[in-house]
């Protein structure tokens, strides 16, 4: 199974998420992670969808089917080496009185993770990194009780020097300042 990251640029309209995911559902392809946000251009959304598949051929067909959705401006399929990517994870870690204290120095310096919220009985730690780095930290922090854990899903940009403008030359979209 190879991991593929599919970036979809769409007009930001109601129901577009449904239009995209139904293409995966019909082909029985499970989505590992999905993030959506507006791009540097107003009105254009960027979907970052991570899947695993044994057939590159099947993923290319999937990409072509996504391209057929009218609201879709461009679709790119990437292997991990084609992109810079990351996610954010938040860990709610139990710190009851009398328990072994957290080693904040290791958390900061070794794992590049930060406490973003303190409570009397727990802290919330934010860790940014690849899926592997996040799970390394997960294993490190596990001996302290993890009350809640959440990952954002992958965000990714391609390593190619091209910009969105290269693919959408005729667009007359408003840029953010």
Partner 1 sequence: MGFNENQTATIQGSEPVVSVAKPELINGSHAVIQSLIAEGVKTIFGYPGGAIMPVYDAIYDYQDQVNHILVRHEQGAAHAAEGFARITGEVGVCLVTSGPGATNLVTGIADAIIDSTPMVCIIGQVASHLLGTDAFQETDVMGITIPITKWNYQVTNADEIPEIIAKAFYIAKSGRPGPVLIDITKDAQQKLMTKPFVHKKVETLLSYHPRMAPKEEQLAAAAKLINQAKRPFLFVGHGVQIAGAEQELIRFVEKTDIPVASTLLGLSSMSVDHPNYVGWLGMHGNYGTNVLTNQCDLIIAVGMRFDDRVTGDLSRYAKQAKVVHIEIDPAEIDKIMKADAPVVGDAKIALELLLPLVNENNHEAWKAEFKKYDAIEDQKITQPELAPTTEKIKMAEVIRTLSDKTKGEAVIVADVGQHQMMAARYYQFKKPSSYITSGGLGTMGYALPASFGAKVGAPDREVVAIIGDGCFQMTIQELGTIAQSGLPVKIIILNNNFLGMVRQWQQLFHQKRYSFVELQNPDFITIAKGFGIDGHTCAKREDLHASLDTMLASDKPYLLEVLVEKEENVFPMVPTGACVADIRLE
Where does this chain bind partner 1 (CB under 8 A)? 10-11, 14-15, 18-19, 22, 26, 57, 60-61, 63-68, 70-79, 82-83, 158, 160, 167-171
Phi, psi of 68 (to 5 degrees): -75, -20
Going by DSSP bridges, is the β-strand pair 72-79/155-158 parallel, antiparallel, or unpaired? unpaired
Beta carbon nearer to partner 1, 56 or 142 = 56
Q: For residues 151 and 128, give the distance between their C-alpha atoms in angstroms, rounded to a whole number.
A: 9
SS3 of 45, please? strand
In the complex, minimum distance from the CB of residue 72 to partner 1, in angstroms, rounded to a whole number: 6
Minimum Å gap between C-beta 124 and partner 1 is 34
Q: Give whichever of 35 and 128 is closer to partner 1, judged by the CB atom.
A: 35
What the block records as the tokens of 78 is 């990437």
Least distance (Å) between residue 79 CB and partner 1: 7
* Residue-by-residue DSSP string for 58-104: HHHHHHHHHHTSTTEEEEEEEEGGGEEEEEEEEEEEE--TTSPPP-H
Output 10 or 95, the one with its CB closest to partner 1: 10
Residue 79 or 116 with smaller CB distance to partner 1? 79
The Cα–Cα gap between 174 and 25 comes to 34
In the complex, the smallest distance separating the C-beta of residue 23 from partner 1, rounded to whole angstroms, is: 8
């Amino acid at each position: 199974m190879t991991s593929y990251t599919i970036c979809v640029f769409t007009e930001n309209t109601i129901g577009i998420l449904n239009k995209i995911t139904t293409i995966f559902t019909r082909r029985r392809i499970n989505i590992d992670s999905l993030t959506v946000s507006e791009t540097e251009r107003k009105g254009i959304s960027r979907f970052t969808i991570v899947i695993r598949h044994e057939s590159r051929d099947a993923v290319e067909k999937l990409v072509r089917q996504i391209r057929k959705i009218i609201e879709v401006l461009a679709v790119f399929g990437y292997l991990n080496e084609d992109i810079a990517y990351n996610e954010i994870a938040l860990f709610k870690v139990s710190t009851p009185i009398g328990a072994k204290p957290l080693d904040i120095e290791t958390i900061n310096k070794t794992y590049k993770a930060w406490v973003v919220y303190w409570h009397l009985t727990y802290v919330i730690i934010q860790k940014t990194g690849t899926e592997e780095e996040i799970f390394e930290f997960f294993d490190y922090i596990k001996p302290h009780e993890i009350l809640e854990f959440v990952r954002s899903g992958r965000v990714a940009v391609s390593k190619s020097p091209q910009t969105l403008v290269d693919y959408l030359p005729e667009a007359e979209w408003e840029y953010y300042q």
